[in-house]
Amino acid sequence: MRAALGVLMLICTINTARADAPTRSLFPEPRPQVATTLVALPAPPAMQSLRPRPRPTEAVARTQPDRPRSTRQGSVCNNNDIKGTELEPIISRTNGCGIAEPVLVTSVNGVRLKPAATINCNAATALASWIDDGLQPAFRGQVVQLNVADSYSCRPRNNVRGNRISEHGLGNAIDIEGFVLKSGRTLTVEDNYGRQIRVAHKAACGTFRTMLGPGSDGYHEDHIHFDVSQRGGRAYCR
């Protein structure tokens, strides 16, 4: 009995000794591979927010609620090729006149408008497309200035009393009467309506919804009228 008790105590002592023993080695363990992997992971979003970041476009728009059409300084209509300034809304008592978001365009794709044209951004954008795709190819890239006969104007069509208000009254239209080339030469619609101007004129059909030039109706012998009216049907190009 005494011997059996001694064996039992010995087993307990061994068990206790095992329980007290460290479960892991006392030697430093090699750094697990996973730690290296974690270092390579991208910083959490909270860390990224501490870095200075470029100001988002929306923030610029919020601080300038009246000027949402501007992209960079000097550009309008969200198009860096269209230079000018944004104007206050043009409000008219005459039904059919006024522009909610007018722009005063001074140049388009490097071509000056003289004088600067007051139009809306639909017209300015169409003008930019035509200058790139129609006008400059017709003139082998030589046009440096458009002579503008009219842009925004609250008046009846063809200045005839009783007519409907012209698209000029909505900023949808621009009249061009001349083209100045790099050489300094000026070609006018009135005196030089030859192949080059005719090709440039016709190339605008579709980009603009209505075009009227020499030979159309007797009112457009010295200028070409371009407009982006929302009239239905096919473009009217004369």
Does residue 175 touch Zn ion according to CB under 5 A? Answer: yes
**Region of 16-24, 25-33, 102-110, 168-176 interacting with Zn ion (CB under 5 A):** 168-176
Q: Tell me how far, at minimum, the Cβ of 123 lies from Zn ion, in Å.
A: 11
Nearer Cβ to Zn ion (70/127): 127
The residue among 81 and 98 lying less far from Zn ion, judged by its C-beta, is: 98
CA distances from 168 to 22, 27, 30, 66 (A): 92, 89, 81, 23
What is the closest distance, in whole angstroms, from the C-beta atom of residue 150 to Zn ion in the complex?
Answer: 6
Stretch that binds Zn ion, among 45-53, 55-63, 80-88, 173-181 (CB under 5 A): 173-181
Q: DSSP assignment of the chain, as one string?
A: -HHHHHHHHHHHHHHHHHHHS-SS-SSPPPPPHHHHHHHHSPPPHHHHTTS--PPPHHHHHHH-TT-TT--STTEETTEEEEEEEE---EE-SSTT-EESS-EEEEEETTEEEEEEEEE-HHHHHHHHHHIIIIIHHHTTT-EEEEEEEESS---BGGG-TTSPBPGGGGT-EEEEEEEEETTS-EEETTT--SHHHHHHHHHTBTTBSEEE-TTSSSS-SS-EEEE----SSS-EE-
CB nearer Zn ion, residue 135 or residue 173: 173
Closest approach, Cβ 121 to Zn ion, in A, equals: 18
Q: How far is the CB of 151 from Zn ion (least distance, A)?
A: 9
Region from 19-27, 59-67, 171-179, 187-195 binding Zn ion, contact rule CB under 5 A = 171-179
CB of 190 to Zn ion, least distance (A): 15
According to CB under 5 A, which one of 69, 201, 209, 225 is a site residue for Zn ion?
225
Size of residue set near Zn ion by CB under 5 A: 3
Nearest residue to Zn ion, scored by beta-carbon proximity: 225
Kindly list the residues in this chain that would bind Zn ion in the complex (CB under 5 A).
173, 175, 225
